[in-house]
Amino acid sequence: MAPAVLHSISAPACFSPKQFVTARSSCARSCRVTCIAEPPTVKASTPTRSVEECEAAVVAGNAPSAPPPPPKPRAPQGTPTVSTLHLPSRPRRNRKSLALRNAFQETVLTPANFILPLFVHEGETNSPIRAMPGCDRLGWRHGLLEEVSKARDVGVNSVVLFPKVPDALKSATADECYNENGLVHRSIRLLKDKFPDLVIYTDVALDPYNSDGHDGICREDGVIMNDETVHQLCKQAVSQARAGADVVSPSDMMDGRIGAIRAALDAEGFTDVSIMAYTAKYASAFYGPFRDALDSNPRFGDKRTYQMNPGNYREALIETRTDEREGADILMVKPALPYLDVIRLLRDSSPLPISAYQVSGEYSMIKAASAAGMLDEKKAILESLLCIKRAGADVILTYFALQAARYLAGEA
Ligand code: PBG
């Protein structure tokens, strides 16, 4: 299945230029407005008159007939009679048909824009995540491969991995995070063996491995220790690169971690491994379902001494400057939909690619409202993703990646 392009949230995805030829028949079925000009089916008859003869007939005033213009559609009875407004501009003209709307659409969505976050666990089978209907903790050996294979079938070739680590392997210093035979490391090696061209992003942070549930090492008074945490993050990132990760993504929000990780990767010869920095990551209530999925809720306190204050906008520029200076390849804003202004800010302030994370809570809101019959699920998903891209995101981490890509391909 060729990846499709979303031209309009209300248009079937079959209007992708790439799919133009193959999609014609399904278009004709599903479009209310006929927008692809099929040549009229004219019986091939042998011409009887030459061009000169036809022209002479027209010149002599005997023009052949063609259909009259359609009759003017009637307005409902009771419509007021008014004089025409003399408007220099009528923006609705450019929206009057599907073909025109498609032609003038500024933002288009493709499956190549999506990164699919996947939860893995040690189990043999998948287990559903209560707070994220439709998402499972995937068995790393089977379920993971099946999910990735399905995603690739619809053009989604980038994934980011999150492990559900057994409690017995968690510790206050989270050393399991750089175990070369840990769950993430094994999963990367298996995926690379099966799908060598898959782009694998990893999460760099201590929380899935930390008995305290925080992204950094906690001192006994609850303070998150910055520089000591960065030391562990460097070991984690290098171990992930060694397993075959393409892009490491520090989501921990410690100061100085991008530069330290860049230096650690380079020192080990991983100059080709990229860093996607969680640049503007806010202390958000919308991470709730994710923490449920990984059983990684902080044991005490919250993450407000390292994640950003949702009330702050300009502060994102400080994080942008430091991450750029320290060598980030991609800058991320997280969450996405409540922070579109911040996405636009980073877009306009940095020449680096911008990513946005449509987080677990954003996913679960749409799922729950749709299941309750309050939203049209397909339209809500595609509109939310389109708007995140319009705000300035090049790529979007979204649990809807597979579902949205299938919609774009005209399935479902
Ligand atoms: C942890 C991490 C979190 C998410 C991604 N990495 C949770 C947190 O910061 O508490 C959240 C993703 C989501 O909610 O979908 N470093």
Mean pLDDT over all residues of the chain?
A: 91
Residue 2 reports pLDDT greater than 80? no
Which residue's CA is the closest to the ligand 1 atom numbered 5? 251
Q: What are phi and psi of 144, to 5 degrees?
A: -60, -45
Q: Is the CB of 362 under 6 A from ligand 1?
A: no
Tokens read off for 105: 């659409």
Which residue's CA is the closest to the ligand 1 atom numbered 6? 251
Asked if 123 and 16 touch (Cβ cutoff 8 Å), the reply is no
Q: Give yes or no: 235 in active site.
A: no
Which residue's CA is the closest to the ligand 1 atom numbered 2? 251
Residue 98 reports pLDDT greater than 80? yes
Q: Is the CB of 207 under 6 A from ligand 1?
A: yes
3-state helix, strand, coil in the chain (%, to 5): 40, 15, 45
Residue 365 reports pLDDT greater than 90? yes
Asked if 210 and 164 touch (Cβ cutoff 8 Å), the reply is no
Over residues 118-152, the pLDDT tens digits come to 999 999 999 999 999 999 999 999 999 999 999 99
Q: Indicate the top mutation candidate among 251, 254, 333, 358 to test ligand 1's pocket, ranked by most ligand atoms within 8 A of CB.
A: 251
Q: Where are the alpha helices (DSSP H) in 253-299?
A: 257-267, 288-294
Q: How far apart are CA 72 and CA 97, in angstroms?
A: 17
Question: What's the whole-model pTM score?
Answer: 0.87
How many angstroms is it from 130 CA to the middle of ligand 1? 17
Q: What does the pLDDT read at residue 28?
A: 38
Q: Is the CB of 359 under 6 A from ligand 1?
A: yes
Tokens read off for 169: 């392997």
Q: At 42, is the pLDDT very low, low, confident or very high (cuts 50, 70, 90)?
A: low
Q: Is the CB of 360 under 6 A from ligand 1?
A: yes
Q: Is the CB of 278 under 6 A from ligand 1?
A: no
Over residues 22-35, the pLDDT tens digits come to 433 443 334 344 34
Active-site residue, selected from the candidate residues 164, 281, 367, 389: 281
**Quick one: which of 15, 18, 21 has its CA closest to 3?**
18
